[in-house]
Structure 1
Amino acid sequence: MTEPARDTIHCARFLPHPPAAVWRALTDPELHARWWAAGDVKPLVGHRFTLDMGSFGSQPCEVTAVEDERLLAYRFAERTLDTTLTWRLEPEGTGTRLFLTHSGFDLDSPMGRQAYEGMGRGWPHVLERLDAALGEAA
């Protein structure tokens, strides 16, 4: 058995919504802005976009993998953090199990370590907002 990478954050959450609804919240810019950050996200490999992270500024991203209603991955904060976000959806009963992997933090740099620690605490709250936004959209 291999140990999880130390530079990676893992989160999982059951959402009582079908995969199509969760996928839409991950890939529709209007819905995405309601639960996390404004930006022109699209499920198209090679698509470049920015996410407005408020006081953390606009963060450039590039989609690296797409499997419709199953997987969305993109590079996040290119040229600063240079991390990767991977969203994986698995149908579960009448809902969806959503897995988030945020990988590639440079834990040897103060900024990388601070981002890893802050986002490790923050991602569960972001997923709570996603669940709430899905409930409002239903």
Structure 2
Amino acid sequence: MNTAATETRSVIVERDIPHAPEKIWRALTQPHLIAEWLMKNDFAAVEGHDFKLTADWGSVDCRVLSIEPNRSLSYTWAAYGLESIVTWTLTPKGAGTHLRMEQSGFKPDQQQAFQGAQYGWQTFFGNLEQVLARAD
């Protein structure tokens, strides 16, 4: 049996952030804050909610899969033939939080999308840290 056709890859970004999980959670779930670090959106922290992330280059169709306030958030991320899942995990660490983002579901022939996501999430994380530094 050939498993190569069904194998998928993930982009994973992990950072230790000097803010409480509750503060990071707000930045991950409040639409006006999401717009500052990721994209314009109509997000709602409700399981099963369909939402759209919109940028100059197009949009991403998403659906909230699971929510555990201040701990984890998972949603689908579909754009340009990519069917993936983004999962955020927040783990308290000292006075701050270990934040982990995994975007899973990249097929072997989606190298460009995979590389784009690797680059994109680094940028988004940088933006997120700036939003956290000034949000209260």
Identity of aligned residues (%): 37
Distance in 1 (alpha carbons) for counterparts of 2:46 and 2:79:
18
Distance in 1 (alpha carbons) for counterparts of 2:56 and 2:85:
19
Query: For 1:92-131, what aligned pairs fall within 5 Å after superposition?
Result: 92-108=93-109, 112-131=110-129
Deviations 1:69-127 (A, max 9, x none): 1000000016721111000000111111100000001222xxx2211011112212211
TM-score scaled to structure 2, two decimals? 0.89
Higher strand share: 2
- Number of residue pairs aligned between Structure 1 and Structure 2: 130
Partner of 1:135: helix, strand, or coil?
Answer: helix
Q: Paired residue for 1:34?
A: 36
2:135 is matched by which residue type in structure 1? Answer: A
Distance in 2 (alpha carbons) for counterparts of 1:48 and 1:80:
18
Q: Paired residue for 1:90?
A: 91
2:105 is matched by which residue type in structure 1? Answer: G
Displacement after TM superposition at 1:59 (Å): 1.2
Higher helix share: 1
Q: Paired residue for 1:132?
A: 130
Displacement after TM superposition at 1:129 (Å): 0.9
Task: Give the RMSD, CA atoms, in angstroms.
Answer: 1.5
Displacement after TM superposition at 1:14 (Å): 1.1
Which consecutive residues of structure 2, in runs of 5 or more, have no partner in the other structure? Answer: 1-6
**C-alpha contact 1:90 1:97 (8 A) present in aligned 2:** yes
Candidates 2, 6, 23, aligned match of 2:25: 23
Q: Paired residue for 1:51?
A: 53
Distance in 1 (alpha carbons) for counterparts of 2:115 and 2:80:
19
Moved over 4 A (4+): none
